Amino acid sequence: MPASIPRPLAMLPALLLLTGGCGPDALPPELGDLRAGDLADAGAIEGRYEMRIATMLDGTSRTSHHVKTADQVLELVLDEPLAEPIEYDSWIRVPGDLLDQERWEADELLVLAPPPQPLIDPEFRDPRRIGTVLVYWSGQGLPNGEADQSMYSGNRSTNVYYGENSYGIETMAGKVFGPYEIESPGGCNTNLIVTRAEAAMVERGHDPTQFRQMMFHFPGGAGCSFAGLASVGSPTNPARNSWYHGSFGCTTRNQELGHNYGMGHSHAYNCPATPEGMDHNLYEDCEHIEYGHPYDPMGNGCGHMNAVQKTFMGWLEGCNVVTATSDGVFNLLPTELPCDGTQALRIPAYDGRHYTLEYRNGSGQFLAGSGVLVNIAGEIGGFGPPNYVLDELGGIENGYLHEGDTFTDPGSATTFTILEEHDTHVVVQVSIDGGGDGQPATCDDGAGEPMVDGGALGSLACAAEPYPGDDSPPEVQITYPTQGQQFAPGDSFVIVADATDDRQVIEAALYLNGEPISIITEPPWEWPANGIPEGTFEFGVVVRDARSWTPSNAVTIQVSDEAPPVEDSSGGGPDTGEGPPDGADTTAGDDSTGGDAGVVGPSNGCDCRQGRSGSGFGGFALLLLVLGRRRRRRAG
């Protein structure tokens, strides 16, 4: 990562940014003086652990293991699979030998320290800040505006997809950079692509460290055997990088980001027909289809993620997830809607796993049919639990059960039947082999049984519609200094903006005389300014939510010897007299989305960005003012 970013601060040399934090290669304190990538003794290397999963062009999947040092990323060549999964970003020591510039032959793999404390509270998830970088070294790169529509601003964007799927828990917020022409990496060298893409960002004044996750798109034909590749993390500690080899459709981009959060693929079984129907062992007799789920992007579709994946991510919890332990009748609610009741009904299978039933009623932006899907999976935990949808199996047609359909477990007398099918819910009768343990069901959080509603177990309370995309832009006003205010040379004060949004303001960019000089990503939206020189200065602020941006009012101040000293009445923080720290993105550049001055032009493909009408920075950025009059087309 770059240690510093160029800053055009000649006109305001003492601007202070209140930021902090440690880089991704910072060592855990308990490891003392060890340095990232040191050969601690002959034939050993240390660094952060990373697993990657690739979607291969031939339809298979490949998993690889890597060690990240401060200087390089090496693939680990293992004699045999890992006995236990290792958490993303754990600090590891690997005795062995360097095979070539990209691979390390591992004798063993030792975990010295767990990963850093997760930055995202699982009960309240901050926006997932994602930088999407478009690069090419031959041909043409993906147009910036097209990528922005796909990732953030479109009605079927990844931002809208994860918001609807998670019932508002997840917010994908970011910018698209490029396309940048970079020097050829000489083949499919993904680590070199990262290095050169981020260097191109820095050269144009952008800061990759402002983004927790990075996506790298480059045209097909680069010699890569994969369509998509991603490092694997967890919901609370997402991995950083994903790569897109010419592919940027709904399935690919949502799947690779899903791997960043620890989700595995959503599989299917292809089982042989037998006279006894389902009377065979699912493990031994059925063919494993790696990307077999036809409706889930972790498989091969772009409907909602299945209920097993949603439970893994923490989007379904408590009495959204109910395990049937005895005979009973259950309400099952649509997985597309935010609901209080059961959306994942778990029923024990003969082989120790559970069937997970989910109902899809065909609502929302991401349609994939309707009916009851039957998944089978083990316990939730670790790297995305292996889950299979039962498709064209045991009386199931096109993956869905409907009213009157019955499924029987192949190794026991357990059955479930769809008694009723409505737009709002289905009613499922469950018969457990032997009758069960006497308690009809338990909620996932151990809080006891689900409530009874309408004569069946499970609340019927649901929202009327899926969680909507964010169609309301933010609002912003500079509250200090005020228009026309006078200062004496050398005065110090705090620039304060009041920014609001119906959901969340993601970032605020400060402009000076038409040039962006500082971006901050959390409140308070304040910038201390110290030792202002003589002159006339015009300030403005651009704020962004997950999909829109809005420019503030323009504020012009005069700094001269004739002006009386001004006491700072802004209510801002204390004047520390410090300058901007390394790593602060104080420019916006000419090729990113998000309302930065000078970024819009037909050659960049960025002219599809919209902001809020009726606001703009006076005359300090004519381009921003023009864009500020464009308005996002609202979803109907």
* Structural tokens at position 399: 């993956």
Is residue 250 located within the same domain as residue 283? no
CB burial readout 94-107, b (16+ within 10 A) else e: bbbeeeeeebbbbe
Is residue 109 located within the same domain as residue 224? yes
**Distance (Å, whole) CA 228 – CA 256:** 7
- The model's pLDDT over 328-382, given as tens digits with 9 standing for 90+, comes to 999 999 999 999 999 999 999 988 999 999 999 999 999 888 999 999 998 877 6
Is residue 501 located within the same domain as residue 571? yes
Is residue 284 located within the same domain as residue 423? yes
Domain containing 195 equals 41-262
Q: Looking at residue 272, what is its pLDDT?
A: 65
- The model's pLDDT over 135-189, given as tens digits with 9 standing for 90+, comes to 999 888 999 999 999 999 999 999 999 999 999 999 999 999 999 999 999 989 9
Q: Give me the mean pLDDT over the 545-573 stretch.
A: 76
Does some domain include residue 430? yes
Residue where a domain terminates, one of 262, 297, 330? 262
Q: Looking at residue 31, what is its pLDDT?
A: 46
CA-based torsion, 601, 240, 162, 613: positive or negative: negative
Is residue 451 located within the same domain as residue 498? no
Residue where a domain terminates, one of 238, 262, 286? 262
Does some domain include residue 541? yes
Does some domain include residue 30? no
Which CATH number does the domain housing residue 547 bear?
2.60.40.10
Q: Looking at residue 233, what is its pLDDT?
A: 94
Q: What pTM value is reported for the model?
A: 0.79
Q: Give me the mean pLDDT over the 191-205 stretch.
A: 96
Is residue 136 located within the same domain as residue 57? yes
The model's confidence at residue 602, banded by pLDDT at 50, 70 and 90, is very low
Give whichever of 110-119, 123-132, 348-357 has the largest mean pLDDT: 348-357
Is residue 257 located within the same domain as residue 273? no
Q: Looking at residue 566, what is its pLDDT?
A: 52
Residue 634 predicted with pLDDT over 50:
no
Q: How many domains does the chain have?
A: 3
Q: Looking at residue 565, what is its pLDDT?
A: 55
Does some domain include residue 378? yes
Does some domain include residue 69? yes
The model's confidence at residue 410, banded by pLDDT at 50, 70 and 90, is confident
Q: Looking at residue 380, what is its pLDDT?
A: 79
Does some domain include residue 24? no
Length of the chain: 636
Residue where a domain terminates, one of 243, 262, 281? 262
Is residue 240 located within the same domain as residue 301? no
DSSP assignments along 516-556, one per residue: EEEEE-SSS-EEEE-SPPSEEEEEEEEEE-SS-EEE---EE
Is residue 355 located within the same domain as residue 245? no
Instruction: Kindly give, in sequence order, each residue whose CB lies less than 8 Å from that of residue 394, ignoring residues fewer than 6 positions away.
Output: 277, 278, 407, 408, 410
Is residue 89 located within the same domain as residue 118? yes
**Distance (Å, whole) CA 98 – CA 104:** 5
Does some domain include residue 624? yes
Instruction: Kindly give, in sequence order, each residue whose CB lies less than 8 Å from that of residue 233, ignoring residues fewer than 6 positions away.
Output: 88, 89, 239, 240, 260, 261, 262
Is residue 235 located within the same domain as residue 329? no
Is residue 183 located within the same domain as residue 279? no
Q: Looking at residue 6, what is its pLDDT?
A: 28
Does some domain include residue 19? no
